Amino acid sequence: METTVTRNGQITLTKEIRDELNIKVGTKLIINRIGSLILIKKKDKNFWDTYKGDALVKGYNPKKYRKDYRKRFKNLEIL
């Protein structure tokens, strides 16, 4: 997806993404920057409590979640 920043510093998310993530007017988003990489995620404090996917290692404990993003992104060659 490509978007353009407006003169007010705003960006537009496609309807497809908004629909998939149930993002509506007033939905809070978290924005993080790692180097030149900008990460945007929907703010949902209960996400990990209800997550049923298989992307996490069995026994994953969100309270032990590592905060060292830079090292992980370097390993993934994103930075």
State the 10-residue block means of pLDDT for the chain, 79 residues long: 92 92 90 85 71 61 62 69
pLDDT, residue 43, reads: 82
Using the Cα atoms of residue 54, residue 66, residue 1 and residue 46 in order, give the sign of their dihedral. Answer: positive
Map out the domains of the chain as residue ranges: 15-75
The answer to whether the pTM exceeds 0.75 is no
Q: Is 78 exposed, middle or buried (0-12, 13-18, 19+ CB in 10 A)?
A: middle
Backbone angles phi, psi at 49, to 5 degrees: -70, -30
